[in-house]
Chains A and B, each alone.
Chain A
Amino acid sequence: MSATTTTTYDPNTRRVPPLGGFNLTLLGIELRRMLRNRRTVVFTLIMPIALALIFTNQKGAEDSAGSGNVAAYILISIALYAAALTACANGAMVALERATGWSRQLRLTPLSPVAYILVKATMALIMGGVAIAVVNVVGAIEGKAVMPTHVWILSALLGLVCTVTFAALGVFVGYIVPGENAMQILGPGLAALSFLGGVFIPLSTYNDVVRNIAYWTPMYGVAQISRAPLTHDLPWFAIVNAVAWFAIFVAGAAWRMSKDTARV
């Protein structure tokens, strides 16, 4: 019996979608939506390329660093920063979609809240991955950065894993700061944290006081981790730092979201 000629509706013939509604069509449309957004393209693709080209052309970029050179060190750092920023922007969109009532619209469909978050997290990872890939491809073509291939790959993957922390930060801040203002805080904020956390400038150039503060900031741990394949230098407190900030941001995001759900 086809649905259009039926005279009654039998609930027993109806199915629940698998995976709470998570599917590839959804990801495809979300991805297209992202790439149409000029702001996203600038933050994800153009700005990181510019930063990578500027920083790797500094004096001393060819000096050796770990199993490669300083340009490689810079490239990994810029890729991490670009991915973190992109993930943040993706996270902040969750709150924006809530504020505009789109999440409420989605509640009229079988999409489960967990699947929704999974879609957003996947999008943050994909876009973060694109940012990392773009920076690395440009770096490879430019030819200044020197490091073994496995270091290249490993650093990129570690950077990608670390971006999840910043997707959670984006969700958290997105809920606290309403609307599109979230990125106006997250953009400069993340740049400041990156300077402080030794992403753009090595911590060894800071004085003791600043350096001791830097160890506690969110960018420090992830930067150390993603550069570890190159530098072979990974202090235990860098790992503690990364895990702790991940836990803090996820808890914060979950807390704000659960408060908000009470109202939907």
Chain B
Amino acid sequence: MSQNVSSVPAIRLDGVTKDFGSVHAVKGIDLRIHPGEVVAFLGPNGAGKTTTIDMILGLSHPTAGSAEVLGLKPRQAVARGLVSAVMQTGGLLKDLTVRETVAYTASLFADTRPVDDVLESAGITHIADRRVGKCSGGEQQRLRFAMALLPDPALLLLDEPTTGMDVEGRRTFWSTIRKDSEKGRTVLFATHYLEEADQYADRIVLIANGTIVADGSGSEIKALASGRTVRATVEDDPRRIADELRTLPGVDEVELRGDSVRVHAKDSDAVARYLLNQTTARDLEIEAKGIEEAFLSLTGDSEHPHEHEEMSR
């Protein structure tokens, strides 16, 4: 691996924003993704995932900030076959056969893998002569995947890639993706399933309301999501109270500024109960981080079962 190639990030977003009229879909994203990483772009519907992916592909331009792919402008990278994508919205021509669709796409690149190889690795050789209009949703998704693999891309973007696939199809799909990433391919996939992100990604970037609210490994992200922050004013002996707070179960972090104490804990109720019952603390506030809100719609929260049901419908 040569030095200058590996030091260029596969994706570099600097202060990227995107407005649609008065709607701020993306509100300032900074992101570096390194070659060979498999990254999940996790967030609820409407978080700005697709809008961000569109900008990485050069399908739309940021309102402010800049997007770069392998050190190139997005469209330059697409023209060289360095980036490809499987998008939710990409249509197919119903009156072409599966093989014709792949051959059509292959003819557009300067260098491509052989059509038959790609059909084979996407598992659609047996339906190669079938009209696209007669293929199931899962088969069409595998066709889109075959088309994306044609140029042997260095970066593959997948927007909700396993929609419409059954469990078996999903497993085969991800094992193919993982195998390719071992060869150095970078993969960024958008999903609104925490489980899928946790299972298949090296790194999870959590996005909500157009900003990145967390970035880390699966276990780091899950740990973050389970806590809340409690704030209070403690005038009597704040140091002693802070020390005692640290001994409470589930407390991650205690911060003291003057007479204001800030506690991050998995069990915020226990912290609040302690502060109110055993100290003279006042002005108590419990706040969920932005991440909490995002997670509610991703995983469901036992406190809000109805809310979750509505979202999953």
Contacts and interface: CB of A to CB of B under 8 A. Distances in A.
Interface of A: 3-11, 14-18, 21, 23, 25-26, 29, 32-33, 36-37, 97, 100-112, 264
B138 interface: no
Interface residues of B, number: 47
Contacts of B104: 25-26, 29
Contact of A17 (B89, B109, B152, B184): B109
Contacts of A25: 103-104, 106-107
A10 B2 contact: yes
A255 to B, nearest CB: 21
B72 interface: yes
Contacts of A4: 113, 152, 183
B44 to A, nearest CB: 23
B64 interface: no
A7 B183 contact: yes
B219 to A, nearest CB: 28
B129 to A, nearest CB: 13
A26 B109 CA distance: 11
Summarize B's interface: helix, strand, loop or mixed.
Answer: loop
Given A6-B184, A8-B184, A107-B59, 11 more contacts: A7-B184, A11-B70, A11-B77, A17-B79, A18-B110, A23-B107, A23-B108, A25-B106, A109-B108, A110-B78, A110-B81
B130 to A, nearest CB: 14
Nearest to A20: B79
B284 interface: no
Nearest to B113: A3
Contact of A7 (B1, B79, B106): B1
Given A8-B2, A9-B70, A108-B57, A29 B96 contact: yes
B93 A109 contact: no
Given A107-B59, A109-B78, A17 B91 contact: no
B89 A101 contact: yes
Interface in B76-125: 77-82, 84-85, 87, 89-96, 100, 103-111, 113
B109 A108 contact: no
16 contacts: A5-B183, A7-B183, A10-B5, A14-B81, A16-B80, A16-B110, A23-B107, A32-B100, A33-B93, A100-B94, A102-B93, A103-B91, A107-B78, A108-B84, A109-B78, A109-B84
B91 A9 contact: no
A15 B78 contact: no
A29 B95 contact: no
Contacts of A9: 5, 35, 70, 82, 154, 184-185
A11 B71 CA distance: 9
B6 interface: yes
B6 A8 contact: yes
Closest 7 CB pairs of A and B: A101-B91, A9-B154, A14-B80, A25-B107, A105-B90, A15-B110, A100-B91
B148 interface: yes
B92 A110 contact: no
Contact of B87 (A15, A23, A100, A104): A104
